[in-house]
C-alpha cells in the first residue's frame, strides 16, 4: 500500500511539474502595437497637382523682312533693350544699289512724261490748225481726222507715262523701305532672351521671316503653362490660388493665380489634357523661362470640419485579429454585445461601399466604424460627413498602422 501511494504521489508531482513547465515555457501569441492618429477638427484644402513650364507673359520674336548678311550686332543674350533701339544691321550694299536703280527708273519715267506732254502740246497745235483749215474748207476731212487721232494718241501716251512714274516712285519707296529693314529695331522694351544669329551669317526671308532675337517684355511677371488632366479640369476656375515649386529653389514656394483655362485640348498618349495659365510674381528674378514648375491649384477649402486621417481609411488590421474578432462578433451578436466589427455594407443607394476605420483604446482595437460619406480631401486628411459624424468624436484615436511586437517588424495595413 505504501509503495502504491508513493507511486501515485510521484506521478502527480511529475504531472504538476510538467504542466508548470508547459505554462512557463509555452510560446505566447503575437502581440501588436498600433500606431494611431486622432480625429481632429480644422481646415482642409483640396488641391490638384500638375507640372508645367515657365514662360514670359509676352515674348516677341524679332525677325527680318529682307534677306542679307548680318553686318553688325549690337545686343547679346540678357541685354536690356528699349523700344526703337538698334539691335543689328544687315549688309546694306545690295539694298542700297536697288534704291539707286529704282531712283534712276523714276528719273527715266519722269522724262517720259515730259516727252509725252510735249507730244500732246504739239498734237494740240496741229489739231487746232487743221480744225481752222477744215472750217474754211481748205483741207480734206481725212487730214482733219488724222490730226484728231494724233491728239488722242498723244494724250494716251501722256497717261501711260504718268503711270510709269507712279510705278517707278512706288518701286523706289519699296527699295528705300527694304533698305530701312536692314536695320533691325526692337519693337518693345524688354530683355533679349535668345539670339539666333552671328556676324557674317546669311539670313533668307524668301519663304518666311527668320527669327533673329526673342525679347521678353517683363520678366518680373511670369506665367506657368500647366497641362491639367481632363478628369480634373472641371475643378479649375480663373482666380483660384496656387502654389508653385521649382527644382532650382527647393526651399521656396511661389504664389500663383489661375488666369486662363484654354479650351483647346491636347492629346498625349491617348490622355486628353488642357492648358491652364497661371501668373507668377517674379520680382526677385529667381525664375527663368523654360523652368519646370510643380504646381498645386487650391480648388476647394473647408473650415472647422471634423476630419479623419486618410491612412485610417486605408488601414487593415492583422488577419489573426480579424479572424478572432469575427468570432467575438458572432458571439456578441448572439449575446447583445456592443463590439462593432467591420461589415462591407452598401450605402442606401446600393452602390457605394463603406470605408472602415478602427478605434484604438488602451493600445488595442476596440471597434470599428463604417463611413459611407466623405467630403474634401488633401490626401492626408479627409472631411467626415453623414451618419459617421454622430459616432466619431474629436480626439478619438484611429489605427493607421501596426507592428508585431514579438518580431519587431513594421507592417502598415492597406485596404485594397
CATH number of domain containing 252: 2.40.30.170
Within a domain: residue 134?
A: yes
Using the predicted structure, report yes or no on whether residue 346 has a pLDDT greater than 80.
Answer: no
Higher model confidence: residue 150 or residue 24? 150
Q: Tell me, yes or no, whether 99 and 160 share the same domain.
A: yes
Q: How confident is the model at residue 257 (pLDDT cuts 50, 70, 90)?
A: very high
266 within 8 A of 275, measured Cβ to Cβ: yes
Q: What is the pLDDT of residue 8?
A: 66
Q: From 359, 400, 391, 383, select the one nearest 40 (Cα to Cα).
A: 383
The pLDDT tens digits of the residues spanning 302-333 come to: 899 999 999 999 999 887 666 555 555 544 44
Q: Tell me, yes or no, whether 324 and 311 share the same domain.
A: yes
| Strand pairing report for 190-195 and 80-81 | antiparallel
Using the predicted structure, report yes or no on whether residue 350 has a pLDDT greater than 70.
Answer: no
- Angle of the 93-135 helix axis to the 141-181 helix axis, nearest 10: 160
Domain count for the chain: 4
Q: Tell me, yes or no, whether 330 and 358 share the same domain.
A: yes
Q: Tell me, yes or no, whether 174 and 189 share the same domain.
A: no
The pLDDT tens digits of the residues spanning 361-408 come to: 988 888 889 999 998 888 899 999 888 898 999 999 999 999 887 544
Q: How confident is the model at residue 21 (pLDDT cuts 50, 70, 90)?
A: low
Q: Tell me, yes or no, whether 316 and 289 share the same domain.
A: no
Q: Tell me, yes or no, whether 103 and 155 share the same domain.
A: yes
Using the predicted structure, report yes or no on whether residue 354 has a pLDDT greater than 90.
Answer: no
Q: Tell me, yes or no, whether 351 and 254 share the same domain.
A: no
The overall average pLDDT reported for the chain is: 86
Using the predicted structure, report yes or no on whether residue 4 has a pLDDT greater than 90.
Answer: no
Q: What is the pLDDT of residue 177?
A: 94
Using the predicted structure, report yes or no on whether residue 338 has a pLDDT greater than 90.
Answer: no
318 within 8 A of 402, measured Cβ to Cβ: yes
Among 242, 273, 303, the domain-final residue is 303
The pLDDT tens digits of the residues spanning 104-157 come to: 999 999 999 999 999 999 999 999 999 999 888 888 889 989 999 999 999 999
Using the predicted structure, report yes or no on whether residue 222 has a pLDDT greater than 80.
Answer: yes
Q: Tell me, yes or no, whether 103 and 174 share the same domain.
A: yes
Q: Tell me, yes or no, whether 320 and 375 share the same domain.
A: yes
Within a domain: residue 189?
A: yes
For residue 146, the enclosing domain spans 92-181
Q: From 181, 182, 278, 189, select the one nearest 227 (Cα to Cα).
A: 278
Q: Which residues contact 182 (CB under 8 A, 6 or more apart)?
A: 66, 68, 89, 90, 91, 92, 95
Q: Tell me, yes or no, whether 406 and 329 share the same domain.
A: yes
Among 244, 278, 303, the domain-final residue is 303
Within a domain: residue 24?
A: no
Q: How far apart are the first and last CA of the chain?
A: 70
Within a domain: residue 1?
A: no
- When pLDDT is averaged across residues 248-266 and rounded to a whole number, the result is 94
Q: Tell me, yes or no, whether 233 and 296 share the same domain.
A: yes
Amino acid at each position: 500500500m505504501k509503495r502504491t501511494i508513493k507511486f501515485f504521489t510521484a506521478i502527480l508531482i511529475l504531472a504538476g511539474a510538467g504542466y508548470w513547465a508547459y505554462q512557463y515555457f509555452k510560446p505566447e501569441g503575437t502581440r501588436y502595437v498600433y500606431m494611431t492618429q486622432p480625429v481632429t477638427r480644422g481646415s482642409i484644402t483640396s488641391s490638384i497637382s500638375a507640372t508645367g513650364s515657365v514662360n514670359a507673359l509676352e515674348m516677341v520674336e524679332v525677325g527680318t523682312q529682307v534677306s542679307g548678311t548680318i553686318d553688325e550686332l549690337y545686343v547679346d543674350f540678357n541685354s536690356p533693350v528699349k523700344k526703337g533701339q538698334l539691335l543689328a544691321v544687315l549688309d546694306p550694299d545690295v539694298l542700297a544699289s536697288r534704291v539707286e536703280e529704282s531712283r534712276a527708273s523714276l528719273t527715266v519715267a519722269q522724262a517720259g512724261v515730259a516727252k509725252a506732254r510735249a507730244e500732246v502740246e504739239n498734237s494740240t497745235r496741229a489739231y487746232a490748225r487743221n480744225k481752222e483749215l477744215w472750217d474754211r474748207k481748205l483741207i480734206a476731212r481725212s487730214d482733219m481726222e488724222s490730226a484728231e487721232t494724233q491728239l488722242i494718241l498723244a494724250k494716251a501716251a501722256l497717261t501711260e507715262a504718268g503711270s510709269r512714274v507712279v510705278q517707278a516712285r512706288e518701286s523706289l519707296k519699296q527699295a528705300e523701305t527694304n533698305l530701312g529693314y536692314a536695320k533691325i529695331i526692337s519693337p518693345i522694351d524688354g530683355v533679349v532672351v535668345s539670339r539666333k544669329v552671328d556676324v557674317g551669317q546669311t539670313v533668307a526671308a524668301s519663304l518666311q521671316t527668320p527669327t533673329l532675337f526673342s525679347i521678353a517684355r517683363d520678366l518680373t511677371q511670369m506665367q506657368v503653362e500647366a497641362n491639367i488632366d481632363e478628369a480634373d479640369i472641371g475643378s479649375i476656375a480663373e482666380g483660384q490660388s496656387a502654389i508653385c515649386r521649382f527644382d532650382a529653389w527647393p526651399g521656396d514656394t511661389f504664389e500663383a493665380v489661375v488666369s486662363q483655362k484654354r479650351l483647346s485640348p491636347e492629346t498625349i498618349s491617348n490622355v486628353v489634357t488642357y492648358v491652364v495659365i497661371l501668373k507668377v510674381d517674379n520680382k526677385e528674378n529667381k525664375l527663368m523661362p523654360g523652368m519646370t514648375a510643380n504646381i498645386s491649384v487650391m480648388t476647394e477649402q473647408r473650415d472647422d470640419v471634423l476630419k479623419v486621417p486618410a491612412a485610417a481609411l486605408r488601414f487593415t488590421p492583422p488577419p489573426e485579429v480579424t479572424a478572432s474578432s469575427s468570432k467575438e462578433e458572432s458571439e456578441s451578436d448572439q449575446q447583445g454585445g456592443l463590439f462593432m466589427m467591420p461589415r462591407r455594407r452598401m450605402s442606401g443607394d446600393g452602390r457605394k461601399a463603406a470605408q472602415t476605420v478602427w478605434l484604438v483604446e488602451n493600445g488595442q482595437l476596440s471597434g470599428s466604424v463604417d463611413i459611407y460619406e466623405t467630403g474634401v480631401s488633401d490626401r492626408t486628411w479627409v472631411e467626415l460627413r453623414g451618419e459617421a459624424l454622430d459616432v466619431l468624436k474629436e480626439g478619438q484615436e484611429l489605427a493607421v498602422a501596426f507592428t508585431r511586437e514579438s518580431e519587431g517588424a513594421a507592417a502598415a495595413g492597406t485596404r485594397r
